[in-house]
Amino acid sequence: MALPVLTVGRALVARPDLWATAITAGLSLAPNGWWRRRPFLPLPDRDWLRFRLVTAYGGDGRLDDESPFRPEDLITWLEWRKHWPG
């Protein structure tokens, strides 16, 4: 399962007000000790990400051309996270 990085990246580049929120969200979703395992990036666990996609969109949790995931959904979530108290 590969995230549509370019599509999401383009949507996020257009929203510099969400960059800090995206970084903190990404780091909070990364598994402990991510820097000790390849690919040495703070990426969420694949099984967890698949579970979240299934619970949000149904289906099998794949991110492909037929997936209902849209970059706008991530932007909406980041806006919510930015303004959520706490």
Query: Who's near 35: CB < 8 A, 6+ residues apart?
Result: 42
For 69, half-sphere exposure in the C-beta direction (CA atoms, 13 angstrom radius) is 25
pLDDT tens sequence for the chain (86 residues): 445 677 788 889 999 999 999 999 988 889 999 999 888 888 888 898 889 888 988 888 777 767 788 889 999 999 999 998 76
What pTM was estimated for this model as a whole? 0.77
Q: What 8-state DSSP symbol labels residue 72?
A: H
Residues spanned by the domain of 35: 5-83
Structure confidence at residue 43 (pLDDT): 85
Q: Which of 75, 63, 62, 65 is nearest to 19 (CA)?
A: 75
Please report, in angstroms and rounded to a whole number, the separation of the first and last CA atoms in the chain: 32
Number of domains comprising the chain: 1
Q: Are the C-beta atoms of 71 and 7 separated by less than 8 Å? A: yes
